[in-house]
Amino acid sequence: MEEEFDSGRILVQEPISYSSTDTAHNLYYKLVSEGLKTLPLAIGRALKGYKGTLQHGRPSYFTRDFPEYSEWMEKERYERASHFPTKYPSS
């Protein structure tokens, strides 16, 4: 554990595929799903003493805030990025 937020070493990191038609909702779902799949591996590595790899570059975070609209952004992409449905699909 580190004192600063998101300053520790990386135990597991996997790529997430995305497309221009993804919404904030389904990207969040993809990230949570991948996190749940990799969590047992991260815990197992930590218990075995694995120290992880150093982070490189500037950290980035997913927030639940709405993105800010600017003139350079296409309206359709902004609406898709801001969309969180109130009800989750059953399948």
**Which pLDDT score is estimated for 52?**
92
- Does 4 map to a domain? no
DSSP string computed for the chain: --SSTT-S-BS--------TT--HHHHHHHHHHHHHHHHHHHHHHHHTT---B---S------SSPPPP-TTS-HHHHHHHT---SS----
- Give the domain extent around 46: 24-57+74-81
- Does 65 map to a domain? no
**Which pLDDT score is estimated for 11?**
92
- Does 47 map to a domain? yes
- Does 46 map to a domain? yes
Pick 7 or 89 by higher pLDDT: 7
- Does 39 map to a domain? yes
The model carries a pTM of: 0.59
**Which pLDDT score is estimated for 61?**
63
Number of domain units in the chain: 1
Per residue in 30-53, pLDDT tens? Answer: 889 999 999 999 999 999 999 999
- Does 43 map to a domain? yes
Pick 91 or 69 by higher pLDDT: 69
- Does 34 map to a domain? yes
The answer to whether 16 and 62 have CB atoms below 8 angstroms apart is no
| Average pLDDT for 3-20 | 84
- Does 69 map to a domain? no
Mean pLDDT of the chain: 78
Count of C-beta atoms within a 10 Å radius of residue 80: 17
